C-alpha cells in the first residue's frame, strides 16, 4: 500500500509543479466556465423586470453557487486521453506500474487546488458587482458542500472515464462527450434553477443524474433544504455504474488498442 501512495505522491508533485508553471492557462480555463455567469445576467435582469417567483438577489446567489460548483467539478480527461490514444503517447503510460487513470485523477485534484484561489477571486468580483447577493454559509453547510462537490466530481469523473474508452474504437469520443455535456447543461440546473422548469420536465430531469451534479451541491451551499440521503445515494449509484462500465470497456479497449504506427 505504501508503494501505491508513493506513486500517487509522485503524480501529485509533478501535477503541482506543472500547474504552477501553466497557471495562466489554468486561469483562462476558469474564465471559460462562463455559462452560469451569462445565465445569471439574463435571469437577474428578467427577475428585475417581471415577477417570476424568485427575486433578483436569490437568482444571482443561485448562479454564483452554480458557478463555484462548476469550477470545482470540471472534468477534462477525455480531451487528454483521446489525444493520447490518437498519437500513441498512451503506450509508455501503460508500461508504468499503475493504472493510467490514477494519474488523471491526481492531476484533476491538484489542478483543483491550483484553480480554487482564482475561482474565489472571480466569485468575490461578482459579489462586489451585486452586493445584494452576498450570503454567508454556515460551517456545517460548507462541510456538506465539500462532500457534495466531491461526490458530484467523482460521478462526472468516472462517467467521463467510461465515455473516454470509446476513443479506443472511434475518433468521436469527445464529440459524444459534447452531446452528453449539452444535456447535462440543460438539465443540471446550470441554465435555470429546477423550480423554473415546467413540472413534467423537472420530474424527468430528476430521473437523470444531472441535477445531482450541479443543482444539489449548489443548494447545499446556499443552505436550502435538500434530500441529502437521496442526493448522495444517486451520485454514488451513478459512480458505481460508471466504474463498472469503465472497467469492462477498458479491458476490451486495451485489447483493441494498437498504438499509433504499430
Partner 1 sequence: MKLFKLLGLFWSTSLAAEMEYRSNFVMATLSTLFGLGATLFALSLFYRRGADLGGWSWLEALLVLGMFTLLHGLSRTLFEPNLSRIVEHVRTGTLDFVLLKPIDSQLWLSTRRLSPWGVPDIVLGVGLIAYAATTLGLEPLSFLVALVPVASSLTILYSIWFTVAATTIWYVKIYNITDVLQAWLDAGRYPIESFPPGVFRFIFTFVVPVAFLTTVPARAMLGHFEVRWLLYAVLLAAGLFVFSRVFWRFALRFYTSASS
Q: Which residues bind partner 1 (CB under 8 A)?
A: 22, 24-25, 28-29, 31-35, 38-39, 41-42, 44-46, 48-50, 52-53, 129, 172, 175, 178-179, 182-183, 185-186, 191-192, 196-198, 201
Instruction: Give min distance, CB of 29 to partner 1, in A.
Output: 6
Instruction: Give min distance, CB of 115 to partner 1, in A.
Output: 13
Q: CB neighbours of 150 closer than 8 A, spacing ≥ 6?
A: none
Buried b (16+ CB within 10 A) or exposed e, 40-52: beebbeebeeeee
Closest to partner 1 by CB, 97 vs 131, is 131
Q: CB neighbours of 167 closer than 8 A, spacing ≥ 6?
A: 78, 81, 82, 85, 86, 173, 174, 253
Cell of 18: 506543472
Instruction: Give min distance, CB of 22 to partner 1, in A.
Output: 6
Quickly tell me which residue has 485523477 as its cell. 105
Instruction: Give min distance, CB of 96 to partner 1, in A.
Output: 26
Three-class SS state of 101 = helix
Instruction: Give min distance, CB of 101 to partner 1, in A.
Output: 23
Closest to partner 1 by CB, 38 vs 248, is 38
Closest to partner 1 by CB, 50 vs 255, is 50
Contact 70, 185 (CB under 8 A): no
Closest to partner 1 by CB, 168 vs 197, is 197
Amino acid at each position: 500500500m505504501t508503494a501505491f501512495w508513493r506513486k500517487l505522491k509522485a503524480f501529485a508533485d509533478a501535477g503541482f509543479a506543472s500547474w504552477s508553471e501553466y497557471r495562466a492557462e489554468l486561469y483562462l480555463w476558469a474564465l471559460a466556465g462562463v455559462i452560469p455567469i451569462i445565465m445569471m445576467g439574463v435571469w437577474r435582469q428578467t427577475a428585475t423586470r417581471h415577477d417570476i417567483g424568485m427575486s433578483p438577489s436569490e437568482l444571482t446567489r443561485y448562479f454564483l453557487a452554480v458557478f463555484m460548483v462548476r469550477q470545482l467539478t470540471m472534468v477534462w480527461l477525455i480531451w487528454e486521453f483521446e489525444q493520447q490514444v490518437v498519437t500513441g503517447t498512451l503506450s509508455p503510460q501503460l508500461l508504468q506500474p499503475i493504472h493510467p487513470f490514477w494519474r488523471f485523477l491526481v492531476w484533476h485534484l491538484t489542478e483543483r487546488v491550483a484553480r480554487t484561489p482564482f475561482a474565489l477571486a472571480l466569485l468575490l468580483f461578482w459579489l462586489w458587482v451585486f452586493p445584494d447577493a452576498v450570503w454567508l454559509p454556515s460551517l456545517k453547510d460548507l462541510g456538506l458542500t465539500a462532500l457534495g462537490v466531491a461526490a458530484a466530481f467523482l460521478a462526472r469523473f468516472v462517467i467521463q472515464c467510461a465515455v473516454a474508452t470509446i476513443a479506443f474504437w472511434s475518433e468521436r469520443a469527445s464529440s459524444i462527450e459534447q452531446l452528453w455535456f449539452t444535456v447535462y447543461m440543460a438539465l443540471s440546473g446550470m441554465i435555470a434553477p429546477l423550480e423554473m422548469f415546467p413540472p413534467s420536465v423537472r420530474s424527468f430531469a430528476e430521473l437523470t443524474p444531472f441535477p445531482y451534479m450541479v443543482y444539489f451541491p449548489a443548494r447545499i451551499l446556499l443552505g436550502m433544504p435538500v434530500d441529502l440521503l437521496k442526493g448522495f445515494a444517486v451520485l454514488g449509484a451513478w459512480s458505481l455504474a460508471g466504474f463498472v462500465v469503465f472497467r469492462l470497456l477498458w479491458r476490451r479497449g486495451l485489447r483493441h488498442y494498437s498504438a499509433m504506427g504499430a
